Structure 1
Amino acid sequence: MPVLLKDHDSELTLRPGTTKSDIVAYLYQNPEWGYSPQELKETLDIPRGTATTTLKRLYDNGYIGKTDDGYYHALSEREDIRRYVSNLDQVHRLFGHHRDVDATPEGPEKQIGEDRTDAELDAELVELESGLEELHE
């Protein structure tokens, strides 16, 4: 996949869909808050060991900050990470609903209107068209 060079940061090693990316995205979407490893573990539904290890690595690499009493948070000076998270949000808004597990039909796919007669579909179409005409009046 090509990258736009003016926005590309070869030092930024985040990849969408990873625990590392999920943690960073969550923290940068909520920059005014600090979170304990336990809170992030529960919120993001990740194993405790994974949360702790990933948070330590993210902190050591300068992706996130940490308070003296152990709360992790976004860093205001990391514009590159804010851009990354913003791009993730845009992609999710555009395409996220297509990957909704609950939206996947079980069994053979049905076509729209397959379980209705032609007369029922025609009646529904007339009703929708009359509703549109009322809106434009």
Structure 2
Amino acid sequence: MPVLIEDHDPELTLRPGTTKSDIVAYLYRNPEWGYSPQEITDALDIPRGTATTTLKRLFDDDYVGKTDDGYYHALSDREDIRRYVSSLDQLNRMFGHHRDVDANPEQPETRIGEGFTDEELDAELTELEDDMDELNE
């Protein structure tokens, strides 16, 4: 995945789609709350051992904070992680709905472009390319 150089932080070792990334994103989307490993397990549907181990590593690497009684939370001084999570959210807004077939279970799964004429698909592609050109200007 390409990175925007001005926002790139080589010290940030998070990769989208990993448990580590998912936990960090969850905590930084909810920065006012602290979560126990069990709450992270339930929220993200991951094994408890995976959550506990990953949270400990994230804490040791200074990605998240931890209260004395075991609640993990986002760190207010990690602007680099906030930018990372913001980028994930933007990507999800742009492309996430294309993969979310379960959001409408009564609707049968269809292939991209199915039910459209070549002219309609060409027009949609042209419109998307124009939008991308505007963003790059």
TM over 0.5: yes
> 1:1-137 alignment to 2 at 5 Å?
1-102=1-102, 105=109, 111=115
For these two proteins, the number of residue pairs brought into alignment is 111
Distance 1:4 1:36 in 2: 34
In the superposition, the TM-score normalised over structure 2's length comes to 0.75
SS of alignment partner, residue 81 of structure 1 = helix
Unaligned runs of 5+ in 1: 113-137
SS of alignment partner, residue 50 of structure 1 = helix
Query: CA offset at residue 105 of structure 1?
Result: 1.3
Query: CA offset at residue 110 of structure 1?
Result: 5.9
| AA partner of residue 48 (structure 2) | R
Query: CA offset at residue 73 of structure 1?
Result: 0.1
| AA partner of residue 64 (structure 2) | I
In the superposition, the TM-score normalised over structure 1's length comes to 0.75
**Over alpha carbons, which structure has the higher Rg?**
1
| AA partner of residue 78 (structure 2) | R
Query: CA offset at residue 100 of structure 1?
Result: 1.1
Structure 1 residues 110 and 88, CA, compared in 2 at 3 Å: closer, same or farther?
closer
Distance 1:36 1:78 in 2: 20
Superposed CA offset, 1:14-61 (max 9, x none): 011110000000000000000000000001000010000000000000
Query: CA offset at residue 7 of structure 1?
Result: 1.2
SS of alignment partner, residue 6 of structure 2 = coil
> CA RMSD of the aligned region, Å?
2.0
Percent identity over the alignment is 77
Distance 1:77 1:99 in 2: 33
Distance 2:3 2:93 in 1: 20
| AA partner of residue 60 (structure 1) | D
